[in-house]
Amino acid sequence: MKKIVYALLIIVLLGISSCDRFDHNFQPLEQVDFNAELFSPLQEAFNNAAPEDLSPVMAFYAEDYKHFGITKSEWEAILFNLLSGISNPVIQVSLITATLQNETNALANWRLTISDDNKTVIADSLYTGERLRKENGKWLLRGNQCGCDPEVPTQKVIVEYVTNVGCSYCPAVEDVLHNLSSQFGDDFIYLTHQLSGPVAFTDPLYAYYNAFSAPVSIIQGKHKLAGGNQDILDQYLPTVQSELDSLSQMDYRVINATVEEKNISGSVKLTPLSASFNQEELILNLAVIDLVSTAVNAEGEPLTNVVIGRKRIDISTVDLSNPVAFEFDANVIIPEDAVLVVFAQKTPTTFANNATIYSGLQYPLTVKKGGSR
Report strand pairing: 302-314 vs 324-329: unpaired
Residue type, position 95, single letter: L
2-141 has CATH 3.10.450.50 classification: yes
Q: How many CB atoms lie within 10 A of CB 19?
A: 16
- Alpha-carbon span 225 to 232, nearest angstrom: 7
pLDDT on residue 268: 92
Reported residue count of the chain is 373
Residues with Cβ within 8 Å of residue 82, at least 6 apart in sequence: 8, 11, 114, 122, 123
Supply φ then ψ for residue 264, to 5 degrees: -130, 135
Nearest one of 100, 110, 94 to 31, comparing CA atoms: 100
Please tell me the predicted confidence (pLDDT) of residue 2. 37
Contact 357, 209 (CB under 8 A): no
CA 81 to chain centroid, in Å, comes to 31
Exposed/middle/buried for residue 233 (C-beta within 10 Å: 0-12, 13-18, 19+): middle
Q: Please tell me the distance from the alpha carbon of residue 302 to that of residue 296, in angstroms, as a whole number.
A: 4
CATH 1.20.1250.20 is the classification of domain 157-372: no
Give residue 115's identity as a one-letter amino acid code.
S
What pLDDT does residue 149 have? 60
Q: What backbone phi and psi angles, to 5 degrees, belong to 33?
A: -95, 90
On the question of a cis peptide bond just before residue 215, with omega within 30 degrees of 0, the verdict is: yes
For the chain, residues with pLDDT lower than 50 are: 1-29, 369-373
Q: Which of 92, 91, 60 is nearest to 75 (CA)?
A: 60
Number of H helices, E strands in the chain: 8, 18
Range(s) of the chain covered by CATH 2.60.40.10: 157-372
- Identify which of 5, 271, 8 has the alpha carbon closest to the alpha carbon of residue 129: 271
Report whether 170 contacts 163 (CB < 8 A). yes
Distance CA 353, CA 223 (A): 6
Q: What is the CA radius of gyration of the chain?
A: 23
For residues 62 and 73, is the Cβ–Cβ distance under 8 A? no
Task: Report the alpha-carbon distance of residue 125 to residue 20 in Å, rounded.
Answer: 17
Positions of CATH 3.10.450.50 in the chain: 2-141
Listed as own residue / partner, the contacts of 84-88 with beta carbons closer than 8 Å and 24 or more positions apart are 84/51, 86/116, 86/117, 86/122, 87/117, 88/116, 88/117
Backbone angles phi, psi at 218, to 5 degrees: -115, 115
Half-sphere exposure of 319 (CA within 13 A, CB side): 3
Cα–Cα distance, 287 to 307 (Å, whole number): 7
